[in-house]
Amino acid sequence: MRSYCVFCNIVAGREPATIVYEDDEVIVIQNILRWAPVMLLAMPKEHRTQAELWQDIGRVGRVAVELGQALCPRGFRLLSNFGYDAMQSQEHGHLHIVGGTHLGPYA
C-alpha cells in the first residue's frame, strides 16, 4: 500500500486546493508557497513519481507551458525537484510553474 499522498487526496477531492485547471488527465493547483506572483503545481491525476512523469511529460508539459504563456507572457520557469538534496517534498510527480515577475539568476 502506498503511503499518504496529499496530491492524490487533492485529485480525489479529500483535501482542499485552489484548482486553476483540470481535465481528465491533468490538474493544476495554486502552490501554497508564494515566493513569486505566479506559483502553480501541474501534475498528472494518476500517481507517478518525478522520474516516471519526466519519462513521458506529455500532456502535463503541454498544459504547464500553455498556462505559463497565458499567465506570464514576459517569461516563466518550469521546475522539478528530484530527491532530498533538491528539496523534493512530494513523491507525486509535478511541475512548478513560476513567474509573474523578473526571476533573476539561478542560485
pLDDT single digits (tens) 9-27: 999 999 999 999 999 999 9
Residue 106, domain member (yes or no): no
Judge whether 107 lies within some domain. no
Decide if 61 is inside a domain: yes
DSSP state of 76: E
Structural domain includes residue 65: yes
pLDDT value, residue 87 = 86
Whether 47 is covered by a domain: the verdict is yes
The rounded mean pLDDT for the chain is: 94
Q: pTM value?
A: 0.92
Q: What is the average per-residue pLDDT within 77-83?
A: 92
Say how far apart CA 26 and CA 37 lie, in whole Å.
22
* CATH of residue 80: 3.30.428.10
Q: Count how many domains the chain has.
A: 1
Asked if residue 41 lies in contact with residue 99, where contact means CB atoms within 8 angstroms, the answer is no
Cβ within 8 Å of residue 27, ≥6 positions away? 10, 11, 19, 21, 42, 43, 45
C-alpha cell, 103: 526571476
Phi, psi of 81 (to 5 degrees): -105, 135
Q: Which domain holds residue 28?
A: 6-99
